[in-house]
């Protein structure tokens, strides 16, 4: 069996982390910082983009917010 790949998907006002080969739900993180538009997992951090141009970095295991700021893509047109 190969390495486990975890993917992050928006789900019911939060972020669901799935094991990609089985689609088994590993963890669900409640995101209450705004309207999420995208989620991406990178190591032990989940990056969530919000409709207002902000992005939050959350701990994959606890769901705790590590930091919040303006997404780099949102600053290009300013």
Q: pLDDT tens for the chain, 78 residues: list them.
A: 456 789 999 998 889 999 999 999 999 998 877 889 999 999 999 999 999 999 999 999 888 999 988 877 654 444
How far is it, in rounded angstroms, from Cα 19 to Cα 63? 17
Angle formed at CA 34 by CA 10 and CA 8, multiple of 5 degrees: 20
Tell me the C-alpha to C-alpha distance, in Å, between residue 22 and each of 6, 8, 17. Answer: 10, 14, 12
Q: Output the furthest CA–CA distance in the chain (Å, rounded).
A: 47
Q: Which pTM was predicted?
A: 0.79
């Amino acid at each position: 069996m190969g390495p486990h790949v975890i993917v992050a998907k928006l789900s019911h006002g939060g972020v669901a982390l799935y094991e990609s080969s089985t689609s088994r739900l590993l963890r669900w993180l409640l995101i209450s910082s705004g309207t999420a538009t995208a989620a991406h997992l990178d190591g032990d951090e989940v990056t969530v983009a919000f409709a207002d141009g902000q992005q939050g970095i959350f701990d994959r295991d606890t769901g705790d917010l590590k930091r919040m700021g303006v997404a780099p893509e949102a600053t290009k047109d300013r």
